[in-house]
Amino acid sequence: MPYKAEYIWIDGAEPTQKLRSKTKIIEDGVDPPIWGFDGSSTNQATGENSDCVLRPVYEVPDPIRGGANKLVLCEVLLTSMKPHPSNKRAALVATAKKYAKHEPWFGIEQEYTFFDGLKPLGWPDNGFPAPQFGYYCGVGSDEIFGREIVEAHSDACIAAGIQIAGTNAEVMPGQWEFQIGPVGPVEVSDQLWVARWLLYRIAEDFDVSATLNPKPVSGDWNGAGAHTNFSTKETRQSYEYVERAAKALGPKHDLHIKNYGAGIERRLTGAHETASYTKFSYGVSHRGASVRIPWQVAVDRKGYIEDRRPNANMDPYTVVRLVTDTICSTFE
């Protein structure tokens, strides 16, 4: 019997690229082939020259359809088979190869917010919920909104073989987090994009939308980030390298901020567990710093650093490439 392959790709939307997908029915025993789409509908081509190419790069069993069905993450190519300008994966693959001897690992904490129409899930029709305090890792129907979706999503990630590391309710009601990793640079990025697709797709069945908006409610409510945890062979053995990794990010602060997600200035205000986007800082255990060295890492004298700057809506291909390049180039 034929199976369904859901081809997933990243479009050309600006300033934040979006996920798209469509279904191909494929004969039993045949691998998902190269396919194409209408780039004029995704800001990736003009109407007169509209064809873009989809090349499968990461396939997992489809946990929603089950059976022999698959999810097929693709990269977008021009018809010349060169990477499309919107394809940020190709450059990451090159950077990961260049620095493979340092064995970089990433763990990404993806924060997001459920919306029910125009308001965050669980918020009253008029006004605001009680101020932030009891929601983070809370329990009870007065504090927790959308747990059934979170459970369905983490089950789906596990069934797909995505290396999801955990989930938690966040500081703002209706806001949640899942973590992917630690795994290699290309793996963490591919897995995060598929995990995002699963989140949107599963929330659809609950008539809820998930958003990666970095500051979904202005005022005294936490924004949504994508803390990016990083280690190499060297940092996993020596604290000297942990400190060197944190320090290496300083001189490239502006370049990283510019590429860490649209609207980052609205989120990195210096309040709500963030450091101002205007100034780089790092510190042990410090959640008001750009980069945090977890206390356990300082105790163990080895481990990883946490770059707290990336927005929830960041592109992992770009963030992971920059972190790898900026730090590993100083380890050469």
- Give the residues lining the site for ligand ADP (CB under 6 A): 105-107, 109, 165-166, 179, 181-182, 227, 229-231, 236, 303-304, 306
CA 174 – CA 147 distance, rounded (Å): 9
Cβ-based nearer residue to ligand ADP, 20 or 267: 267
**Burial bucket for residue 332 (CB in 10 Å: 0-12, 13-18, 19+):** exposed
Cβ-based nearer residue to ligand ADP, 9 or 317: 317
Residue nearest to Mn ion (CB): 227
**Nearest distance from residue 165's CB to ligand ADP, in Å?**
4
Residue nearest to ligand ADP (CB): 107
**Nearest distance from residue 230's CB to ligand ADP, in Å?**
6
The listed partner (Mn ion, ligand ADP, none) that binds 304, CB under 5 to 8 Å by sort, is ligand ADP
What lies within 8 Å, CB to CB, of 258 at 6+ separation is: none
Cβ-based nearer residue to ligand ADP, 83 or 283: 283
The listed partner (Mn ion, ligand ADP, none) that binds 231, CB under 5 to 8 Å by sort, is ligand ADP
Strands annotated E in the chain:
3-10, 19-26, 35-38, 51-61, 70-77, 105-116, 119-120, 164-169, 175-183, 209-211, 228-231, 282-284, 291-293, 305-307
Cβ-based nearer residue to ligand ADP, 72 or 171: 171
**Nearest distance from residue 185's CB to ligand ADP, in Å?**
11
The listed partner (Mn ion, ligand ADP, none) that binds 315, CB under 5 to 8 Å by sort, is none
Closest CA to 107 of 233, 196, 229: 229
What lies within 8 Å, CB to CB, of 224 at 6+ separation is: 111, 112, 113, 170, 175, 212, 213, 214, 215, 216, 267, 311, 312, 313
**Nearest distance from residue 11's CB to ligand ADP, in Å?**
27
CA 53 – CA 55 distance, rounded (Å): 6
Cβ-based nearer residue to ligand ADP, 40 or 163: 163
CA 171 – CA 210 distance, rounded (Å): 16
**Nearest distance from residue 20's CB to ligand ADP, in Å?**
27
Tokens 């081509």 appear where? 45
By the criterion CB under 5 A, which residues form the site for Mn ion?
A: 109, 177, 227
**Nearest distance from residue 307's CB to ligand ADP, in Å?**
11
Rg (CA), the chain: 20
The listed partner (ligand ADP, Mn ion, none) that binds 165, CB under 5 to 8 Å by sort, is ligand ADP
